[in-house]
Structure 1
Amino acid sequence: MSPSLPVAVKPTGSSASQVKKESTTARFLGAGCAGIAELMVFHPVDTTAKRLMSNYGKITSAAQLNTVVFKDKANASVPGRFFSLFPGLGYAAAYKILQRVYKYGGQPFVRDYLAKNHGDSFDRSFGKGNGKAIMHATAGSLVGIGEIVLLPLDVLKIKRQTNPEAFRGRGLFKIIKDEGFGLYRGWGWTAARNAPGSFALFGGSAAAKEYFYKLSDYNKASWSQNFVASIAGASASLIVSAPLDVIKTRIQNRNFENPESGFRIVSNMARKEGFSSFFKGLTPKLLMTGPKLVFSFWLAQTLIPAFNKMM
Structure 2
Amino acid sequence: MSPPTSSDKKQSGIARVLGSATAGIAELAIFHPVDTTAKRLMSNSTRITSASQLNQVVFRNTANESVARRFVSLFPGLGYAAGYKILQRVYKYGGQPFANEFLTKNFRGHFENAFGQKTGKALMSASAGSLIGIGEIVLLPLDVLKIKRQTNPESFRGRGFLKIIKDEGFSLYRGWGWTAARNAPGSFALFGGNAFAKEYLFKLEDYGAATWTQNFVASIFGASASLIVSAPLDVIKTRIQNKNFENPEKGFTILKNMAKNEGMGAFFKGLVPKLLTTGPKLVFSFALAQTLIPAFDRILSPKN
TM-score, structure 1 normalization: 0.95
Residue of 159, 166, 170 corresponding to 2:148: 159
- Equivalent positions of 1:296-307 (< 5 A) are 296-307=285-296
Amino acid at match of 1:121: H
Amino acid at match of 1:102: Y
| 8 Å Cα contact 1:158-1:253 kept in structure 2 | yes
Q: What is aligned with 2:246? A: 257
Amino acid at match of 1:253: N
Please give the secondary structure, in 1, of the residue aligned with 2:117. coil
Looking at structure 2, the residues matched to 69 and 226 of structure 1 have their Cα atoms a distance apart, in angstroms, of 32
Pairwise CA distance, 1:16: 4.1
| 8 Å Cα contact 2:6-2:206 kept in structure 1 | no
Q: Does 1:33 align with 2:22?
A: yes
Residue of 122, 134, 143 corresponding to 1:145: 134
Q: What is aligned with 1:91? A: 80
Looking at structure 2, the residues matched to 161 and 139 of structure 1 have their Cα atoms a distance apart, in angstroms, of 31
Looking at structure 2, the residues matched to 95 and 58 of structure 1 have their Cα atoms a distance apart, in angstroms, of 31
Looking at structure 1, the residues matched to 9 and 133 of structure 2 have their Cα atoms a distance apart, in angstroms, of 21
Unaligned runs of 5+ in 1: 1-13
Q: What is aligned with 1:109? A: 98
CA distances 1:261-295 after superposition (whole Å, capped 9, x unpaired): 00000000000000000000000000001000000
Amino acid at match of 1:165: E
Q: What is aligned with 2:222? A: 233
- RMSD, matched Cα: 1.0
Q: Does 1:171 align with 2:160?
A: yes
Pairwise CA distance, 1:18: 5.2
Amino acid at match of 2:47: K
Q: Does 1:247 align with 2:236?
A: yes
Amino acid at match of 1:275: M
Unaligned runs of 5+ in 2: none
- Equivalent positions of 1:118-133 (< 5 A) are 118-133=107-122
Q: Does 1:19 align with 2:8?
A: yes
| 8 Å Cα contact 1:209-1:225 kept in structure 2 | yes
Pairwise CA distance, 1:70: 0.2
Residue of 204, 212, 217 corresponding to 1:215: 204
Q: Does 1:68 align with 2:60?
A: no
Q: What is aligned with 1:10? A: none
CA distances 1:157-207 after superposition (whole Å, capped 9, x unpaired): 000000000001111111111100000000000000000000000000000
Q: What is aligned with 1:292? A: 281
Looking at structure 2, the residues matched to 258 and 15 of structure 1 have their Cα atoms a distance apart, in angstroms, of 53
Amino acid at match of 2:185: P
Looking at structure 1, the residues matched to 266 and 13 of structure 2 have their Cα atoms a distance apart, in angstroms, of 42
Moved runs in structure 1, 4+ residues, more than 6 A? none
Looking at structure 2, the residues matched to 301 and 106 of structure 1 have their Cα atoms a distance apart, in angstroms, of 12
Q: Does 1:281 align with 2:270?
A: yes
Q: What is aligned with 2:177? A: 188
Pairwise CA distance, 1:301: 0.5
| 8 Å Cα contact 1:193-1:241 kept in structure 2 | yes
Looking at structure 2, the residues matched to 209 and 176 of structure 1 have their Cα atoms a distance apart, in angstroms, of 42
Please give the secondary structure, in 1, of the residue aligned with 2:46. coil
Amino acid at match of 2:271: L
| Matched-pair identity in % | 74
Looking at structure 2, the residues matched to 246 and 112 of structure 1 have their Cα atoms a distance apart, in angstroms, of 32
| 8 Å Cα contact 1:16-1:135 kept in structure 2 | no
Amino acid at match of 1:120: G
Looking at structure 1, the residues matched to 181 and 200 of structure 2 have their Cα atoms a distance apart, in angstroms, of 28
What is the number of residues matched between the two proteins? 298
Looking at structure 1, the residues matched to 108 and 93 of structure 2 have their Cα atoms a distance apart, in angstroms, of 20
